[in-house]
Every structure is written in structure tokens, then in C-alpha cells.
Structure 1
Amino acid sequence: MRFLAPVFAAALVLVLSACNAQIPGQESERMGIAPLLTSEQAFDDQTFAQPQVARVTHVDLDLAMDFDAKTIGGTATLDVLAADDATEIVLDSNGLQIASIADEAGNALEYEMGEMEEGKGAPLTVQLPATKLERPADLPEGELANTHRIVVTYTSAPDAEALQWLSPEQTAGGEHPFVFSQGQAINNRTWIPTQDSPGIRQTWEATVTAPEPLNIVMSGVVEGDPEAAGEGRRAFTFVMDKPVPPYLIAIAAGNIEFAELGPRSGVWAEPEVLEAAAEEVGDTEEMIDAGEKLFGEYRWGRYDMIVLPPAFPYGGMENPVMTFLTPTFIAGDRSNNGLIAHELAHSWSGNLTTYSSWRDGWLNEGVTSYIESRITEEVYGKARAEQEYALSYASLAEGIEQAGADNPNTAMRTPDEISPFDTQGVAIYDKGTVFLKTVENIVGREKFDAWLTSWFDRHAFQPVTSEMMLADMRENLVQGDEELEERLMLDEWVYGTGLPENAWKPSAEAFAAVDSAAAAYAADGTLPGADAWSKWTAAEQRRFLEELPEELTAEQLAALDSTLGLSKTGNNEVLFLWLEAALRNEYQPAVPQAEAFLGRVGRNKFVAPLFAALNGTDWGKPIAQRIYADTRGGYHAYTRSNVDAMLGYEGEAEAAES
């Protein structure tokens, strides 16, 4: 990190003004160039880019999908804003196969691919063209002054970590292949040559071809209908005229169809899944209205979603105008729709205002989780929201207890001495939620809501940092009130470890009946009746299962399953908790169901813990190895990397040696 510190100290570039360049096919003008932050907290140590010297402001992709080769290739035309004395621009690459780099007229430009760094890729340094584009009219004197355009011709590698290529057999229909991308955190550099850093926001457009009859969706607004591209292919065109962090450029293609939900929302899915998916997300328009009521205008136009095949490694990904979703959230009763509320909430926190550095993960996820709870309260009622908050608080408390209250991994802003990707998930999501809930209850909801809405308005489509949010809180919320400042404990929350003493505790009534039932079971094995269990919410069922004793006998597990019908539940969150309890206690009857579950689900939240439960006992280790050998090929690279490390997987190496 430190090697660029002098450059940052000397950098004069603080904010770049608007550049109104027209996007072909768009009636409205492209939004302005997003500000560039140069404070030390804004520094992103996960990129090779030097944006204070030269940075990408717009990406124009012209690509073709090759399902046989498992590659995407074509050209990326980059608009570059550079300092007067800049002669080169540094891009991020991880496995990109570069064919050529030229200026807009086709004249070759010199470039060099640097040394590979594990997990980060390599710097791609390109000499800037001698010719310059017209200087943006609204760019003030003294800012990065020169604009250039470079054209990179390239192909992604077959093993690009951002792209998951599925065979027809891995889809619901079983007839056509499928591909989807997952850019966050730093994977988009495996299929797009750009500066892959959240603080370097870029507008973009793309034309992509795929074989018929596949449909393509992207995290941009589609332009017209697909057009014939020859040789049985069709071309799809998309535009994102708002500057976004590069990790939010996303793509998916397969045999998918669309169902309209409301005037500005809809869902894509394979035909076999579409009806169930549309029913499950039927509250989406109401959620959008709730978000606007709480925190201001929804600025993205449409809110569409795609339910992906099970290999998708996350619950959801907040790609603008096209949220990516796991099918595992479909329960038939909308009980897991907190996921939709969460991804929608990113339309304000994460997408509208985005952390400049991965060390500020809570600014995206913690703030979003708080907004999720508020949307949940508006749509589903206070009781459900309080239960979700209680689960979040319990998860945070447990995570801190396991890690230790002084563990740097429990700080919301990741300290410099550790990787930003080592911070505990509960510190990014749950601690951020509890922090904002605490502030809300100290200052009052009306005052807090007005401040948070104004925060989004002041920093819309801009990168932000922890220091910026704390300064904004002090100026516009604390307003010099020393007693309030002391009560809020702002710095301790953001930079400190553990759980601050002023944390707002959940209502004791949220799970009163469930906690009483859990205590009774722990004391003498008394189970809630099947009728009572069926009337509990999914959150209440999860709470009970999370409170089960760590050690259970085969007889106890059999009774739990037969009385509560756990192995027959349609809610994957509940099913996962049952399987985890069964596997950690060496319950053989659960193995076939766990094997089937791990064979159809690729969500890391479920897969990694179940393999960990198996791998934690001598009984389970060979079972884990056997199941993983069969299921590994269907998992996304993110899920594979986690389980590979856990199991010491050497299957590929052994295959190569043989």
C-alpha cells in the first residue's frame, strides 16, 4: 500500500466535474464523471491502477460468447482521463489473453503485462496515444485534462474466475448451456480489461452475441430487441449511463424467459423455474415503494432480477437493474424475501454510494442490511423485522465470541495489517446493522432517516469512505453536541474491535416463545408440537435450530426430524440448519439427503459449512471427500476455493499425474 502514498499526498485531483458525452442510442446524456477520492483511506490496495495519473471513465464492450471454448472475447474500448504529463495507463488483468491494443484509428500501442501476483492478477501497462480527444467542456482547469481512447482486443481465459460456464445437464431444462458472471470482489479483471477498483466508477455499454435461442441479460438497460448476427447468433445491446464501480458489470446468458411483476420490475429465470420465481418475488414493487418512502428516489429506472441455476455461489448480487439471485431462496411462502429486500437496498447503499476501498465493506453491506430491516418492517411488519434483527445481533455476538473481542477481524473498517477479505462477515454485515440501529435509537428515527437520506443525496453515484461518513455524521447529525458524540461512540464502532457497550439490544419479546421452547428442549428434551412448529415463522424455526445443543444423540435427531418434519421442509435455510446439526453429530440417516442437497446447491453459505461439519469428524471425513469428488465440478470458483482449502483437495493434481 505504501508505495503510492507520496503520489496520493501530492495529488491535486480531488473531484472531477461532469463530462456530458452522448451514448449512441440514448436520448439522455451520459451522467458526469464520478469524483476521484485521493485520501489515504480511499486507497485500494487490491488494484494495480494509478487513477490519479490516468483512469478509465467509460467502457464500451463488443464481445462474443464461445460456449465450447468457455471464453468471452472481442474488444473493449476505454475512454481515459489523464494528467498532462501522463504517458501510460495501468489496467488490471487476471488471465486475460491480449491480442492487440491500439488507438481509435487502429494504430498499435505498446503495452506490457507485468508479473502475476497471487489472487490479484497482473498490471497491464499501456502507452497512451499521442492524439487526444476533445477536452470535456465542463472539466475545470487544473484537473486531469487529457482524454484518450484505447481499444483492447482480447479473450478471457477458459478458467476465468468471474465466469461460471454450465453444461446443459447443470441447468433446470437440461437442453441448453448457461453462463453467468460474479465480479465482486476483484474477479471482473478476468473478463474485462479495465481498472477494477470500486473507487474508479465508470459508465459502460456493451454489445454481446450468443448462439440462438439463448437470451442475454446484463446489469445495464437493454437497448431494443436482439438482432441477428449471422451464423445462428443474436446480438444484445446494453447501456449503463450512470457511473458504477467495475465489479457491478455483470452478464448472464441461457434459456431464460421474463415475467413482468409491475411497472418497473420483473424477473428472468429458466422456464421450469419462472412461475415459482415470479410468485416468490411478487412483493417487489411494494418493496421499491417502501425504499423510496424511507430513503429517497430509486434512481436506477428498472429493478429486474434473474434467478440463476443453483451453482451461483451467493444468495444474491446487487448488480444494478439486474439483481442476480440463488434459487435456494424460493420457499413457496416468501419467507426468505429478506434477500430481495437486501439486494434492493443496495440501490441506495453500495450502488448509489460505494466504498472506495474494500476495507470499508461495512459501508456497502452493513448499511444495506440496516435498510433491509427497515424495508422488511414497512412491507412485512415490525414483528418480522425485530426477529430478523435479533438473528443478526445473535450472529454478531456469536462471531465476536468465537473470534475474540480484540480480534482485528471484528473491526468494521478492516485494519491495514490484515487483508480486507479476512474481515469477519458478521463485522461487515451484522455489526454495521447494529451500529446504525444503535445510532437510530439514540438520535431518534425521524432525525436519523433525514440524515441518512441526505447522505445518499449528497454522495449519489460517488465513492465514499468511513472517514467521510463519520465526518458527515458529525456535521449533520451530531452538530457539535458533545454529550451526543460521547453516547454514540462513533470511532469505537467503526475502527474498534468487538461489540461496543452501547449496542442496541434486540427486543426480548422477538423470540420469547421460541427461546422458551429452546430452553425446555435443552433442559429435558421437550419438543414443540408439530402443530406449533408449523405455525412458527421461518425466522422462528431458524432461531430454534440455531439454539440446539451442539451435541445431540441419534435418538434425539430422529425425534427432531420425525416431530418437526425437518427433512421435508421446503425452506432451504431451515433445511441447511437441520443438515448441519445432523452431520456434526454423525447422524447417518441424514447423509443421503445431505448428498442430494450438496449436489443441487452451489451457494457457499450452505456448501462450505456442511463440508466443514463432515470434515470435523473422523466419521465424516471420507464422506466429505466422496461427495466433493462428485459435486466439485458444479460449484463456482469461489465455493470451490473455500472447500478445496478446507478438505486439502488434490483431485486435479492427482488426475494430472495419472
Structure 2
Amino acid sequence: MTLRKFVSTALLAALVACSGAKNENTAAPQSSPVLFTEEAKDMHSFARPEEARVKHVSLELTADFDAKVMKGAATLDLETAPGAKEVVLDSKNLVVSRITDAEGRALPFALGKGDAIRGQPLTVQLGGAKKIVVNYASAPGAAALQWLSPAQTAGKQHPYLFSQGQAILNRTWIPTQDSPGIRQTWDATITVPEELTAVMSAEMLTPEGEETDGGRVFRFRMDKPVAPYLIAIAVGDLEFKELGPRTGVWTEPAMLEKSAWEFADLEKMVSAAEGLYGPYRWGRYDLLVLPPSFPFGGMENPRLTFLTPTVIAGDRSLVSLIAHELAHSWSGNLVTNATWDDFWLNEGFTTYFENRIMEAMEGKERAAMLADLGWSDMEQAFADVGGPQSKDAQLHLDLDGRDPDDGMTNVAYEKGAVFLRTIEQAVGREKWDAYLKSYFDRFAFQPQTSAGLIADMRKNLFDGDESVEKQIGIEQWIYQPGVPRNAVHLKAASFAAIDSAARAFAGGQAAASIDASKWSTQERVRFLNALPRKLTPAQLADLDATWKLGSAGNSEIRFAWLMLAVANRYDPATASADQFLTGMGRRKFVSPLFEALEKQGDWGKPIAAGIYAKARPGYHSVTIATVDKALGWKA
């Protein structure tokens, strides 16, 4: 395949930097240039950044828990082309009351015709203005925001609010150009009820808040340009505990001590990541442990990773998820996919980097276990998208006319990581690591495309050596489905014994005769996943009684057990499934379990419907959208 046409101001800037200009690593970050290419055209945004683009967002909002809306104003600083007469913003169900220039003069605006996925274009006539003020409120059902009652929190005393903006949900509470390729600096002034604390993915300027009539005001500042989906907020009864000089954890008081214990090695993890690919550039790295309805394992919001409580296993066995979100501080937050067609540029790089962090922290065998499980996840992802030859089994996708959420599969994560691991083997780890470190420097605080990556690898990794590039087959990896034959499958040596134990159990050996006392979480998950989907009720009862799987506090083990039990229509596990699915809203667990139940026809469908009817009101919109589609649910 010939290389797709690529002409990018981001790439040109990088080449200038390489030829002697000031290095991005030492220069103050600048707003990202616009990419003028077909591959960088964001079909999920109404914005026309080549005419007028948002450079800075200043929010002044009040969290109204009674009305369940964020209301106030957003002031947008613009960069405009000569003769530009209007700016087009992204909006979805925003209630816009007035738009003015910086002097308060009213500016004409209109909400245009949109669609169910992207929302509506908000077009503002500028009249020469370089700064506009949008007065607005979010809708009570804004998809990015979840308003929790006190009963849905750990403390049961106060309400809670959190946002989840990826991929294109922040336009439901912030009127801006909601495209990952249009990076923006921002600041915020947030008013909340006096008993609550606000945190955001930015520098916290007022840790204690400032008292005001009817509440407390918190101020935040992000002076580095970020993709707008990374603007995040949480408001609740929150406390903080320091874990290191630049690390700590926020959560509800009832969760604080166990969270701090689980993540005690966070500072070491940041140092391990820096040792691989250069300095951490965001100042602090804190964690926020959210209520169970948070739809993801984690969200890499700069300076403040949002986390599900399902990662708290009580034995620090699931901290690879933290390594993943930390790695996003380089791949994703520092260098960002320009469009959602190239989601793999965020997640494939991050999954690879996560594994390298875990190798540095816990050794090669633990990293191999995680990579080996990831290979299985990749194979399952291919099956989920219609097979390894499906177009959705590519890294670079075509999501035009589709929700970008459709592309957020394990193909991006695991196939992307295997691809990078294959490059590492071809060129050698030392050369590969030097390239990655320089790549993050060259494209720091900028968007990237698949074509841009290929061009950069040809110049700065392969040095014009076409034989190495051909050996790897980079375009086949990125633009074709499936996995090429040269894929590097990193296998865990310890899994051979685990697979043997699974075969023995399936053949009739009792669970008690298997010595699993020293097995890690990864080994237990491997064992459960390796078992055939056809076991007898007596065998399943033996497993559950011996290892207490139905009440396991480790979410990964509990999930693996329930998937096995559902595949076998094991009635005694339905109570555990009910408790698990109504007790948290993490999509990684929720969606596959409901789909597995649905596939079990007359046995599973009634169980799925009964549990979902109870669980659905407590889920975030991200999880609801996925499960509604899987079950054909009519709200």
C-alpha cells in the first residue's frame, strides 16, 4: 500500500524542531496547530478550525444539584483567519440564553440542524470579536454528567456529581469546539454547595474553596493545551491524602484509607514511567476514586485520573490499571489522536507503555502475564467486531456517520500494543525506546494521525531503511484488519502450569487438589478463562465452594467466574451476578455480562431483563447506551 497523502503543520513544526529549533521538552507549550489533511478532518465535530478556532476556555459555572444542571458562562478566546465572520462550536442540548463579545455587546447566534450523535452546531457571528461569552445551562440529562443521590455514594450523606467527556460528551456541558485535534488551555471558577468540594483536571488554585453566599467557590487553571474531552469535574464530600511529593488520592472519607493503601506506590510508578520516556510534564499526578457508577476503569484526565472503585482489590493486584492511566500522560494527553478514527494512537501506545511500567515495577514475568492476557483480549475483540477480517479489526478506522464510541474496542488497545511490541523486536529495545522518547518530545501538546506517525517513523526510526519497514509491514498493521504473521505474542512461562491445571480440572480433578495458594490475580483469571464453557453443575459448585468465587472482592476474578457460570447456565451464580451488576457500572464488566446472559436465550434473557431494570437507573449514560443497544432495551 502506498502512503496516504499527509501534509501537516504539526509535522512541519516537528521537523523544524528536529533541525535545531527550540525543543518542545523545554519550550513552553503552545496551542496546537491545525492539521490540514483528510485524515485529520474530524467528522465528529461541526467546527471549522481553519476559519476560527478556540484557543482558551474560561468557565464560570454553578453546580445546581436541585435542577441537576451546570449553569453560568463560558468565555472563549479565538484565533481567526483573515476575514473570518463566524465561529462554529459544538453543542448538544445546551440551553444558550445570550452570547456577547468581551465588552458585553450581543452577538447573533443560531443552533443549526444536527444529529443524534454530534448534537447541533452553534454558529456565532463574530463582528470582529476575538473573545466571546456564552451564557448557558446544561440540560438535566446531559450525557457527560451524572448526578448521584446521597444513597448512591459511599457516605450516604451528600449528593455527588462527576463528568465523563470522552469521546464527544463534553459538548453537553461546555460550548466549545469538541474535537481532540483542537487543543485548548482553560480555567474555571466553580460554585458548589458549601458542604461539598469541587475537583477538576487542572491545577487547584483554591484547595479549601472560598466562602460565598450560598456555597463555596473553587478555582482551577490548566495552562497547557489539552484536548477538550479531558476537561473533567467532580463535586462531592471529598477528602485528600498525600502519597508522595507530587502524588495523592481524593475520594469520599469512607474510602480514603483503603484507597491510599492500595495506591501507596504511586510516586514510584511515576518515577518508573519517567525513567522510560522522559519527564512527567503536568505537575501533580493525583487520583480520584469515584462512586461505583463510573463507567470506565479509569479516565486519564490530566493531573487527576478518575478511577472506578472496582480497582481496589485489597491486595494491590490491579494497579496495572493505574499504570495505564499514568501512561496516558504521555500517549493521549501529551500526544493526542487528531480524530477518533485514530483512537489506537492513544490506547495502543498506552497499553504498550503500561506493560513497560509494570515490567519496571514488578518484573518481566508479571508483564508477560498481562501481555498474554491482552493477547486473549485481542482475540475476543476480533470476535466481538465481527471477526479478524472485519473493517473494525483495523487500527485506523472509518467512523464517519457512527458514534466514536463504536471504535473504542480492545482492538485499539491490544492490537495496537502488539504492533508496537513487534516494532520493538524488529529494531531493538534500545533504539525503540530512544525513538519513543523523542517522539513524545517532538509532538508534545499536539495532535497526531496514523499517517503522521508513519512519516515520523520513516524519518526518525527507520532512517530510510526500507527493508526494516517492509519486514514490519507498518501500513498493513495500521490500515488492514487482523494481525500479520510477524506479530509478537509475549507469552507468560507461568501460564503453562495454569493451563495444565485447567485441563486437569476439566477432566475431573477436584478443585481442592489444585494448589492455587500462591497464584496471582492474573493466574486465577487465566485459569477461569482457560476452562471449557461446558462444565457440570457439580464442577462449578466445587469451584465456587473451594475458592469463594461468587463473593470474590477482586472484580477481575469475579467477572471471569460469572462469565464462566453464565456460559454454563449455572443458576446458583445468578444472585452473585445480580449483586455485581447492580453494585457497579463499569462497562468493561457490565456489557459483556449482559450480552452473555442475552445469548443464553430463554434461560438468560429474563435474568438480564430483571437485573437491568434495577441497575439501569444507577448507570452512567455511557454504560446505558452500550447495554441498551446490546439488549434492544426500550426506555
User: Are positions 1:335 and 2:335 aligned together?
Assistant: no
2:580 corresponding residue in structure 1: 597
1:123 is paired with a residue whose SS is strand
1:57 corresponding residue in structure 2: 55
1:83 corresponding residue in structure 2: 81
Matches within 5 A, 1:516-595: 516-522=500-506, 524-529=507-512, 532-595=515-578
2:337 corresponding residue in structure 1: 355
**16 and 95 in structure 1: CA distance in 2 versus 1, 3 angstrom threshold:** farther
Q: Give, as a single letter, the amino acid of the residue that structure 2 aligns with 1:59.
A: V
Matches within 5 A, 1:54-203: 54-131=52-129, 148-203=130-185
In terms of mean alpha carbon deviation, does 493-502 or 222-231 score higher? 222-231
User: Are positions 1:299 and 2:287 aligned together?
Assistant: no
Shift of 1:551: 2.2
**Corresponding residue to 1:428 among 385, 394, 412:** 412
**Corresponding residue to 1:394 among 359, 363, 376:** 376
Query: 1:354, 1:508 → 2: CA distance?
Result: 31
Of all paired residues, the percent bearing the same amino acid is 52
Q: Which runs of 5+ in 1 are unaligned?
A: 1-7, 18-27, 132-147, 653-658
Kindly tell me the number of residue pairs found equivalent between the two proteins. 616
Shift of 1:124: 0.3
2:496 corresponding residue in structure 1: 512
User: Are positions 1:412 and 2:410 aligned together?
Assistant: no
Matches within 5 A, 1:454-465: 454-465=438-449
Query: 1:110, 1:558 → 2: CA distance?
Result: 68
Matches within 5 A, 1:267-346: 267-346=249-328
Shift of 1:547: 1.2
In terms of mean alpha carbon deviation, does 295-304 or 526-535 score higher? 526-535
User: Are positions 1:638 and 2:622 aligned together?
Assistant: yes
**631 and 507 in structure 1: CA distance in 2 versus 1, 3 angstrom threshold:** closer
In terms of mean alpha carbon deviation, does 529-538 or 59-68 score higher? 529-538
Query: 2:449, 2:100 → 1: CA distance?
Result: 35
1:563-621 CA deviation, whole Å, 9 max, x = no partner?
22212322111001111221232222111121111121110111112222222221121
1:625 corresponding residue in structure 2: 609
Shift of 1:14: 8.5
2:3 corresponding residue in structure 1: none
Q: Give, as a single letter, the amino acid of the residue that structure 1 aligns with 2:532.
A: P
Q: Give, as a single letter, the amino acid of the residue that structure 2 aligns with 1:465.
A: T
Q: Give, as a single letter, the amino acid of the residue that structure 2 aligns with 1:122.
A: Q
**Corresponding residue to 1:242 among 216, 224, 232:** 224
1:106-132 CA deviation, whole Å, 9 max, x = no partner?
10000000113011100000011335x
Q: Tell me which of the two structures has the higher relative contact order, counting C-alpha pairs closer than 8 angstroms and 6 or more residues apart.
A: 2
Contact 1:315 1:603 in 2 (8 A): yes
1:344-374 CA deviation, whole Å, 9 max, x = no partner?
0000000000010100011000000000000
Q: Which runs of 5+ in 2 are unaligned?
A: 1-5, 15-25
Shift of 1:94: 0.3
Q: Give, as a single letter, the amino acid of the residue that structure 2 aligns with 1:348.
A: W
Q: Give, as a single letter, the amino acid of the residue that structure 1 aligns with 2:387.
A: G
1:373-417 CA deviation, whole Å, 9 max, x = no partner?
000000111110000010111221333356323210100010367
In terms of mean alpha carbon deviation, does 36-45 or 616-625 score higher? 616-625
Contact 1:530 1:563 in 2 (8 A): no
**530 and 50 in structure 1: CA distance in 2 versus 1, 3 angstrom threshold:** farther
Q: Give, as a single letter, the amino acid of the residue that structure 2 aligns with 1:287.
A: M
Contact 2:247 2:285 in 1 (8 A): yes
Q: Give, as a single letter, the amino acid of the residue that structure 1 aligns with 2:452.
A: M
1:84 is paired with a residue whose SS is coil
**418 and 115 in structure 1: CA distance in 2 versus 1, 3 angstrom threshold:** closer
In terms of mean alpha carbon deviation, does 227-236 or 154-163 score higher? 227-236
Q: TM-score, normalised by structure 2?
A: 0.94
Query: 1:573, 1:383 → 2: CA distance?
Result: 19
Contact 1:63 1:75 in 2 (8 A): yes
Shift of 1:527: 4.6
* RMSD across aligned positions (CA): 2.0
Q: Give, as a single letter, the amino acid of the residue that structure 2 aligns with 1:202.
A: Q
1:3 corresponding residue in structure 2: none
Q: Give, as a single letter, the amino acid of the residue that structure 1 aligns with 2:298.
A: G
Matches within 5 A, 1:194-233: 194-233=176-215
